[in-house]
Each structure stands twice: as C-alpha cells, then as structure tokens.
Amino acid sequence: MNQKKMIIFSAPSGSGKSTIINYLLKKGYPIEFSISATTREPRGEEKHGVEYYFFSLEEFKEKIDAGEFLEYEEVYENRFYGTLNSECERIWAKGKTIVFDVDVAGGIRLKELFGDRALAIFIQLPSFEELRRRLEMRNTETPEELEKRIGKAEFELQFSYMFDNIILNDVLENACKETEEIISKFLE
C-alpha cells in the first residue's frame, strides 16, 4: 500500500546531510530523493533536474504565486529553495518514500504538515570549528557565503529539539549506520 511517507533531513549547511543521504540511497531501500527548486547558481557539475531544478528568481516567484510549492524558504538573502508539489507526487506515484534535504525551518514545516507520516532527522555537527573545516574543504562557497552559512548554523542549532531524532555526525561511518537503523525501522 502507498502510505505516502517521508524522511526529512535538516541541519546547518556543511553538517553532512548530502553525504549521509547519498549513503542511504545506495542501500536499495524504497526511497527517492526529492529534487528541490532553487534560485542559486549550479556549482561544479550540478545539472538541472539532478541535484536541483535551477530557476531564475522571477520563475521561482511565478511558481510561488501559482501555488506550486509544498513549502519554500528564502534560506539566504535572495536565495530561495523549495519543494514542488509535483516532485512529491512523482515519487509517491512510484510507491516510494520521499527523502528531503531541507533547511531547518523547512524541516519543521514539513513535520508539522505530515506528523507521523514524516520522520524528521537532525544532523548534529560536532563543533563550529569542524563545520568551518568541512565547508572550507568542500570549497563550494565564496568566503562571504561561507560566513553566512556559519552564522546561520548558530541560529539553526537551537531547533534540533523539534526533530524526531538527532544524529551526531562526528565519525561518518557511525552516523551513517545509526541513521540507517532508524530509517529501516520507519520503513517497516
């Protein structure tokens, strides 16, 4: 039976959400990643319809007005990110559970909307020094953007208590295994 469930991953940027999600997606569970829409520029090899649907600010605002988003946030100034209703329907139509990588406000919004049908996981970073180190190593932001992300992390960390589970991502392998145990129970 298609129960239309979802698993939400939220955490400050650089905490390791994408890394843990990519680990889970390779494990053969009936889950699929929700491709968000964004107004940020593609970085590196990112392609429209793979990592994100990339839209101009104008296109994004048209979609807001047309009611096409399940949720959206202005995560950074003029940088909008959102989940399209069509994306959820596409995944649920296959009988799969949706996996979201959304900011903390978006995660809380989705949990409120979907209640027990949603498993909300917060990825906890070991320290701000380590967050800075990981973002510098990833090397995908300008120094200015990097500071914005670290500044926002301090704010976002206050809301971890609103999630169903908090996973400390210190040793990656442990964090992946712990997350896998939780999601396999949720999918049963």
Our finding on whether 106 is near ligand 5GP (CB under 6 A) is: yes
Q: Which does 83 bind (CB under 5 to 8 A by kind): ligand ADP, ligand 5GP, none?
A: ligand 5GP
- C-alpha distances in angstroms, 169 versus 83, 110, 174? 25, 22, 8
Q: How far is CA 183 from its chain centroid?
A: 15
Which parts of this chain interact with ligand ADP (CB under 6 A)?
A: 11, 13-19, 134, 137-138, 169, 172, 175
Comparing C-alpha atoms, which of 125, 185, 114 is closest to residue 156? 125
Position with the least CB separation from ligand 5GP:
106
Question: Of the two residues 103 and 183, which places its CB atom closer to ligand 5GP in the complex?
Answer: 103
Identify what 82 binds: ligand 5GP, ligand ADP, none; CB under 5 to 8 Å per kind. Answer: ligand 5GP
Contact 178, 16 (CB under 8 A): no
Sole binder of ligand 5GP in the list 7, 21, 36, 99 (CB under 6 A): 36
Q: Quick one: 28 or 49, whose CB is closer to ligand 5GP?
A: 49
Of the candidate residues 19, 29, 40, 180, the single one contacting ligand 5GP (CB under 6 A): 40
What is the binding site for ligand 5GP (CB under 6 A)?
13, 36, 40, 71, 73, 75, 81-83, 101-103, 106
